[in-house]
Amino acid sequence: MATVVKAETPTFYLLTEQYPPYNMTADGKAFAHSSDQIDGLCSEIIRNVFDRAGVSYRMKLRNWSFGMQRVQRNKDHGLFCMVKNAERKDMFHWVGPIANINWTLFAAPGSDIKLKSLKDAKSKGYVIGGYKGDVMSTYLQSQGFKVSMVNNDQHNPRRLQLGQIDLWVTDELTGPYKAADNTTMSDMKKVLTFRSTAMYLAINRETDPALVNKLQKALDAMRRSGVVDQIENNYGL
C-alpha cells in the first residue's frame, strides 16, 4: 500500500523595520534576527495571527529597502506594516488592516513654524526630511514638496536637530520614539497631522492565496474577540 505523505505548510518569512511603537527591536538595535528580539504593536498582532492560523514563521527586522526587495522576489515572504496605496495594490497580497498611522509634520523644539494646511509647507518652501521607500515621503515628493531623502529614517531626527531640514514627516506616535533614540532632543513640535492611513501585512504575489485567506480569517477572528483591542490598549491606543 502506498504511503500518503501530508504536505506541510512551508515556513513563512516575515520582515519588518524599526518603526516604534509598531515594530522595534527589544534592545534598541537597528536589526534583529528572531521574533523574540522584536517588540511592538504590529509585531505582537502579527505573531498572534500566525499562531492562531497555525502557520510556522520566522521574523527578522532589517531596513525597509532590504525587506521590500526580499518580499517582492520570494514566495512565502511578507513585510509589515505597509500602507496599501494605488502603486502597491497589485504588487502584493494583503492581510489587514493591522493598525493605522497618522501622517505628521514635526519641527524642532522652539521652532516658530506654523501651518494651517499642508499647502502652507509647499508655498513657504520648507525642506521636509523623509526616507526612501516611505509612503509619506514619496507622496509629498510626488506633490511637488521639497523632500530631502535619506536611506534610513533614524537619521532624520538628528538632521532636524541640526537644522539640516525644516520639518520631518513621520507617524505621530513614531516620531517621539525615534527622536528619543537618536538625539538629545525632547518635546519636538507637532506642526500638522494631515492624513491617516491603514497599514497591512504585504505578502509576495506567488504565495498560495489559501494561506493568505487563512491569515486574514485569523486576524478577523482576533478583532471580533477583542484581542486586537487588548493589544492596542497595551500600547496606549
Do 144 and 163 fall into the same domain? yes
Q: Is the pLDDT of residue 3 over 60?
A: no
Do 107 and 188 fall into the same domain? yes
User: 95 lies in a domain?
Assistant: yes
Dihedral angle sign, alpha carbons of residues 213, 214, 219, 223: positive
User: 5 lies in a domain?
Assistant: no
Q: Is the pLDDT of residue 59 over 80?
A: yes
Q: Which residue has the cell 539640516?
A: 164
Average pLDDT over the chain, rounded to an integer: 94
What's the pLDDT band for 8 if we cut at 50, 70, 90? Answer: low
CA dist 61 and 35 (Å) reads 9
pLDDT tens for 135-187 read 999 999 999 999 999 998 989 999 999 999 999 999 999 999 899 988 988 78
What is the CATH classification number for the domain harbouring 173?
Answer: 3.40.190.10
The values of phi and psi at residue 157, to 5°, are -60, -40
Do 85 and 124 fall into the same domain? no
Do 93 and 141 fall into the same domain? no
What's the pLDDT band for 4 if we cut at 50, 70, 90? Answer: very low
- The amino acid present at 153, given as its one-letter code, is D
The CA radius of gyration of the chain, in Å to the nearest whole number, is 19
Do 62 and 139 fall into the same domain? no
Domains of the chain: total: 2
The region, left, alpha or beta by phi > 0 then psi within -120 to 50, assigned to residue 161 is alpha
- Quick one: how far is CA 89 from the chain centroid? 16
Q: Is the pLDDT of residue 62 over 70?
A: yes
As a whole number, mean pLDDT of residues 115-141 equals: 95
User: 2 lies in a domain?
Assistant: no
Give CA separation, 100 vs 22, 96, 201, in Å: 10, 10, 12
CA dist 42 and 18 (Å) reads 11
Do 162 and 117 fall into the same domain? yes
Asked if residue 20 has a cis previous peptide bond (ω within 30° of 0), the answer is: no
Do 211 and 176 fall into the same domain? no
User: 175 lies in a domain?
Assistant: yes
Do 18 and 88 fall into the same domain? yes
pLDDT tens for 185-213 read 878 999 999 999 999 999 999 999 999 99
In this structure, of 31-35, 48-52, 181-185, 227-231, the range with the lowest mean pLDDT score is 181-185
What's the pLDDT band for 6 if we cut at 50, 70, 90? Answer: very low
User: 1 lies in a domain?
Assistant: no
User: 42 lies in a domain?
Assistant: yes
Domain that residue 209 falls in? 12-100+199-234
- The amino acid present at 42, given as its one-letter code, is C
Do 32 and 149 fall into the same domain? no
**Per-residue pLDDT, 2:** 45
C-alpha cell at 207: 504565495
As a whole number, mean pLDDT of residues 215-224 equals: 99
- Could you tell me what percent of the chain has a pLDDT over 90? 84
